[in-house]
Amino acid sequence: MPVVWLLAAAGVIEAAMGVALIVVPSTVAVLLLGDGLTGTGLTVARVTGVALLAGRIREGARRWREC
């Protein structure tokens, strides 16, 4: 049972990171790397955010179908 909660918490954190990368990618980069993003870095961060969020949505839909 504790592993299930750990995986659920990791999923929530992953989804939150995806949303944060889509909305404020430069702020996330400053918090993680200590330096902001410009130009292509912003685009890459937003695409990464979309990929993280899409993965969580897909996984949530898969788990919902199994119930």
How far, in Å, CA of 8 to CA of 44, rounded? 26
CA atoms within 13 A on the CB side of 54: 7
Mean residue pLDDT across the chain? 90
Nearest 5°: the CA angle 28, 34, 39 is: 65
pLDDT of residue 4: 81
- Measured on CA atoms in the order 15, 18, 20, 23, is the torsion positive or negative? negative
Residue 62: which domain range?
Answer: 1-66
Q: How confident is the model at residue 67 (pLDDT cuts 50, 70, 90)?
A: low
Q: Is 39 helix (H, G, I), strand (E, B) or coil?
A: coil
> How many distinct structural domains can be found in the chain?
1
pLDDT of residue 62: 81
